[in-house]
């Protein structure tokens, strides 16, 4: 049975798109891999009775009501693994969660909204495979999703304002945060007043996070970088140094921070796999990461395929929600209906998208990734954690075997060939090898199967009557 609008991902963007489409009279199916909607930021938290209009809280309440009224078919614990064109529309192939990965299914749709979010970008360093080292998003998921702190004494590190959000979530839950280690200089944001002032609400969030840190006397170590992690079988400490403009460590500034958890991330990588499978055009975002190219109405280069949220360029949860609204409108129009959102509201939404995108660009300019991280990656440091490929092997593929792109490195070393399909190591391989990341990112991002599926499940599904 076909649906008018299929939304992949139930975060802020997906919820907004689904609500607009359902209110406009379209049949809507929304799938999400988690047991709840809400995405990485809001997670399953029940929406408070506050917020009106197009706020997240109001949209989330509307979403729940539309699910209860059977106007949105919400499918949780469901992974999308392949998207295809089919009869002028789309066919999405799905599977169940890891306990039910043989439960394969299909959804046919006229329009598809890709709202699959992003995950933390990692850069390798000695000791980064020690248990206790995890992504900022992983630490946030533990504390917000399961009510568990990642450790007794936690260091938050990497770059970007998300570090402050993670530290704030940990502190709010009673966590002991030893330090927030920021490789860039956040004061650089002051240079971007034209982008920052219109998004005053976003700056207020940052100020609130900083105030929470100051209240708990948590040091915010600016222009500092984690250089290695040490411990016997699990994390016991990290070494940080002050860094220069290119993130090169400044001699004599090394300092040891004892900790049993490190929450680290250097920005984000968008989940663009499904759009790539149907040939949607990609672009390189202002954070040097891959993003799905969209027009002002969130339309991709593929007719009927919309994208919203982090998949179109990392920009945070408020931008995601506004893009979701616009994508919902475009999906409705693709189905030949009129959107149940006034022209004024649509215009305002599109203006908000421009404003919030400008703020995101200012953040990306303030919190870039600089090359100095490579200096600490010694020969034994693993680059590809799945296939356990060392930096020595990756460098040798370039220096001794003549590899000139990430695909050749992968074929020569197996870096990127494991379970995660290169999602984690791609930025590291490009950085260490000095590849043009734009070409490499676009070339290396095609994944015909977005999540592993048991062959037996596909075979039995295809043979069943």
Partner 1 sequence: MSDKAAKRPGSAGSTAAPAEFSFDGTPYRAIEGQTIAAALIEHGIVAWRRTRVNDQPRGILCGIGVCFDCLITVNGEPNVRACMARVEPGDDVRSQEGTGYGD
Indicate the residue among 271 and 300 with the shorter CB distance to partner 1: 271
360 lies in the binding site for partner 1 (CB under 8 A): no
In the complex, minimum distance from the CB of residue 150 to partner 1, in angstroms, rounded to a whole number: 6
* 12 is a contact residue toward partner 1 (CB under 8 A): no
Considering the complex, what minimum distance in angstroms separates the CB of residue 98 from partner 1? 4
Alpha helix ranges (H) inside 303-369: 317-334, 343-366
Stretch that binds partner 1, among 32-40, 66-74, 80-88, 221-229 (CB under 8 A): 32-40
CB atoms within 10 A of CB 213: 19
**Based on the number of CB atoms within 10 Å of its own CB, is 134 exposed (0-12), middle (13-18) or buried (19 or more)?**
buried
Contact 312, 320 (CB under 8 A): no
Q: What are the tokens at 123?
A: 């850069």
Between residue 128 and residue 157, which ones bind partner 1 under the rule CB under 8 A? 129, 131-135, 137-139, 141-151
- Residue where the block lists tokens 């016997």: 232
51-78 core/surface letters (b: 16 or more CB in 10 A; e: else): eeebebbebbbbbbebbeeebbbbeebb
Q: Looking at beta carbons only, is 148 or 459 nearer to partner 1? A: 148
Least distance to partner 1 from the beta carbon of 303, Å?
29
Cα(342)–Cα(323) distance, integer angstroms = 16
Site track 269-288 with partner 1 (rule: CB under 8 A), x = hit: --x-----------------
Of 245 and 388, nearer to partner 1 (C-beta) is: 388
Residues 6+ apart with CB under 8 A from 182: 157, 158, 159, 163, 220, 221, 222, 223, 224
Question: Least distance (Å) from partner 1 to the CB of residue 172?
Answer: 4
Please, what is the minimum distance in Å from the beta carbon of residue 1 to partner 1?
28
User: Does 177 help bind partner 1 (rule: CB under 8 A)?
Assistant: no
**Residue closer to partner 1 (CB basis): 39 or 313:** 39
Binding of residue 96 to partner 1 (CB under 8 A): no
The end-to-end CA distance of the chain, in Å, is 16
d(CA 106, CA 442): 27
Site for partner 1 contains 45 (CB under 8 A)? yes
Give the range of 15-23, 283-291, 329-337, 417-425 binding partner 1 by CB under 8 A.
417-425
Q: Of 328, 329, 301, 320, which is closest to residue 360 (Cα–Cα)?
A: 320
Rounded CA-CA distance 368/384 in Å is 22
Binding residues for partner 1, per CB under 8 A? 33-35, 40-42, 44-45, 48, 97-99, 119-120, 122, 129, 131-135, 137-139, 141-151, 165, 168-169, 172-175, 233-235, 260, 271, 385-388, 418-420, 423-424
């Amino acid at each position: 049975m076909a649906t008018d609008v299929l939304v992949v991902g139930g975060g802020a963007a997906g919820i907004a798109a689904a609500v607009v489409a359902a209110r406009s009279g379209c049949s809507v199916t929304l799938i999400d891999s988690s047991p709840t909607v809400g995405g990485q930021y809001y997670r399953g938290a029940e929406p408070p009775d506050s917020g009106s209009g197009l706020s997240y809280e109001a949209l989330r309440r509307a979403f729940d009501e539309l699910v209860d009224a059977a106007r949105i078919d919400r499918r949780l614990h469901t992974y999308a693994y392949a998207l295809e064109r089919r009869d002028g529309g789309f066919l999405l192939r799905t599977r169940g969660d890891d306990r039910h990965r043989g439960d394969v299914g299909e959804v046919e749709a006229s329009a598809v909204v890709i709202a699959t979010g992003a995950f933390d970008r990692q850069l390798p360093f000695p000791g980064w495979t020690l248990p206790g080292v995890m992504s900022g998003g992983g630490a946030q998921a533990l504390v917000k999703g399961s009510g568990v702190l990642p450790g007794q004494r936690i260091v938050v590190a990497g770059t970007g304002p998300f570090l402050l959000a993670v530290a704030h979530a940990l502190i709010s839950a009673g966590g002991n945060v030893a330090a927030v280690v920021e490789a860039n200089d956040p004061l650089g944001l002051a240079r971007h007043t034209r982008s920052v002032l219109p998004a005053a609400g976003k700056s207020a969030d940052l100020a609130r996070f900083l105030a929470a840190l100051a209240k708990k006397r948590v040091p915010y170590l600016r222009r500092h970088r984690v250089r290695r992690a040490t411990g016997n079988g699990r994390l016991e400490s990290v070494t940080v140094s002050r860094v220069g403009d290119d993130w090169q460590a400044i001699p004599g500034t090394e300092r040891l921070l004892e900790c049993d958890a490190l929450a680290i991330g250097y920005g984000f990588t968008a989940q663009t796999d499904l759009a790539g499978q149907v040939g949607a055009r990609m672009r390189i975002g202002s954070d040097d990461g891959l993003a799905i190219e969209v027009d002002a109405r969130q339309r991709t280069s593929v007719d009927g395929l919309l994208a919203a949220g982090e998949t179109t360029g990392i920009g945070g949860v408020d931008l995601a929600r506004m893009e979701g609204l616009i994508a919902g409108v475009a999906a409705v129009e693709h189905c030949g209906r009129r959107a149940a959102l006034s022209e004024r509201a649509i215009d305002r939404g599109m203006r908000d998208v421009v404003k919030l995108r400008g703020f995101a660009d200012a953040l990306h300019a303030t919190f870039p990734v600089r090359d100095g991280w490579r200096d600490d990656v010694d020969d034994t440091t693993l680059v590809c954690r799945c296939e356990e490929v060392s930096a020595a092997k990756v460098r040798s593929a370039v220096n001794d075997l003549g590899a000139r792109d990430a695909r050749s490195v992968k074929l020569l070393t197996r870096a990127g060939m494991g379970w995660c399909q290169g999602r984690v190591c791609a930025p590291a391989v490009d950085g260490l090898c000095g590849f043009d990341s734009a070409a490499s990112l676009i070339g290396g991002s095609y994944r015909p199967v977005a999540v592993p599926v048991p062959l037996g499940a596909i075979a039995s599904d295809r043979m069943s009557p």
